Amino acid sequence: MTPSLAKTFFTAMNQASPQAQALGIETLEFEPDAAVLRVPYAEILVGDPDTGVIAGGVVTTLLDHACGQAVMQALGQPTVIATLDLRIDYMRAAEPGKDLYCRAHCYKLTRSVAFVRASAFETREGDPVATAQAAFMLNSSSGLPRAASGRP
């Protein structure tokens, strides 16, 4: 996908997804094998009201969503993919009041599986809140019953 096609597609995909809308997920940047997304800080995303820290589940959802968009970028087209598995390492709490960003990079494609790494952070990718390593099934119509054309 060209950057402008990708922008159109991912914006539409985010808007069509009720849960992506509920979290406020936006896609900001498009690279050949990667995507950068943002979740703006909001009270509704907080897990622990005493700290104001965004819920771990929101971080996870952002990572998962960004990984899927990176796979589509690497494939060069909107495609039916399914998350096969996802591993998340949490380094620290997100800073209260700050937007969360995520950069995901699809570093390997085989005929049936895509492998992705991602990092969620407030300011610098090198100082992550959490990182992820994920595998996605391609052409999942013939495989896993879970088909996700517009994710998360």
The residues that touch a copy of itself, with contacts defined as CB under 8 A, are 16-20, 22-23, 43-51, 53-58, 60-62, 64-65, 82-93, 107-108, 110-113, 115, 117, 126, 128, 131, 133, 135, 137, 142-152
Least distance in angstroms from the C-beta of 97 to a copy of itself = 14
The residue among 65 and 103 lying less far from a copy of itself, judged by its C-beta, is 65
CA separation for the pair 23, 110 (Å, rounded): 32
* Helix, strand, coil share of the chain (percent; to 5): 30, 35, 35
Smallest separation, CB 30 to a copy of itself (Å): 21
Q: How far is the CB of 44 from a copy of itself (least distance, A)?
A: 5
Nearest to 57 by CA among 126, 130, 115, 123: 130
55 secondary structure, DSSP code: P
Residue 83 — φ and ψ, nearest 5°?
-65, 125
Query: Nearer Cβ to a copy of itself, position 3 or 127?
Result: 127
